[in-house]
Amino acid sequence: MKESLAEVVDVSKSYRLGEVTVPALRNVSLAIRAGEFAALAGPSGSGKTTLLNLIGCLDRPDKGDVRLGTESVAHLPSRALARIRRDSIGFVFQTFNLVPVLTAFENVEYPLLLNGAGRAERRRRVTALLERVGLGNKMHRRPDELSGGERQRVATARALVNRPSLVLADEPTASLDSATGAMLLDLMHELRDQYQVAFLFASHDPRLLARVDRVISLCDGRISPAIAPAAFAAEGRA
């Protein structure tokens, strides 16, 4: 069995909305393995994004533990969490989160600048990734000069440039048409195999859920019985 990259153990998380406490996750436990292509599924408000944020060290649980590899991260100081996010985790967001004044090359390069990589190394790695995602001829264009699918490919390249072991993707196909979304998922499958990186998605898109190895279903902040990815195939074709 492959090693566990990320594990949440009996995790609960709530948020305050005015005078009301709203539970987002309730006693959730799961593990993501090396090289896995998995998805968190469920309706809006089921806890998908909250769970993704806890695994990605963007938030902390109220109860329970979050482990990345052998390291417990739930209660680490903010600086240590920033280091883990920078070195071990890549992020792909529904809204791309690209810096509008930077070119595609500069957006992908930015994490390497934060890591102190030298100029030659930055150029080599960024160029190779942008060529790999089919944007070698558009690397000097800004986001407003690219289509939605091209922006998401830039975001995917940026997520991989620091060679993380895990990429977290929140609704990556939601803003894309069917053909572009399918092309992006094909690309992510190929990148998973090429770079030996695990992908964990949060999505309610049946087209995406039909393509993963495992679907982790969430409802009202709890994990529901497992659903086979093939169950989403007919819905995705509708």
Token pair, residue 96, equals 């791309």
The per-residue pLDDT for range 186-235, each reduced to its tens digit, is 999 999 999 889 999 999 889 899 999 999 999 999 998 767 677 776 55
Nearest residue to 90 via CA among 190, 4, 231, 191: 191
Confidence check: pLDDT of 237 > 70? no
Phi, psi at 179, each rounded to 5°: -65, -45
As a whole number of angstroms, the distance between CA 229 and CA 110 comes to 35
Residue extents of the structural domains in the chain: 4-237
Q: What is the pLDDT of residue 172?
A: 92
Mean pLDDT of 54-65: 95
The per-residue pLDDT for range 63-111, each reduced to its tens digit, is 999 999 889 998 899 999 999 998 899 999 888 899 999 999 999 999 9
The per-residue pLDDT for range 2-23, each reduced to its tens digit, is 678 999 999 999 998 888 899 9
**Which helix (H) or strand (E) segment is 11 a member of?**
strand 4-17
Give the pairing of strands 63-68 and 166-170.
unpaired
As a whole number of angstroms, the distance between CA 227 and CA 235 comes to 14
Measure the CA angle with vertex 107, ends 105 and 110; round to 5°. Answer: 105
Asked: is 4-237 a CATH 3.40.50.300 domain? The reply is: yes
As a whole number of angstroms, the distance between CA 165 and CA 118 comes to 22
Match 């679907």 to its residue by tokens: 215
Residues 196, 190, 185, 145, CA torsion sign: positive
Confidence check: pLDDT of 48 > 80? yes
Q: What is the pLDDT of residue 129?
A: 94
Residue type, 175: S
In angstroms, what CA-CA distances link 102 with 4, 95, 142, 143, 145? 36, 16, 6, 8, 11
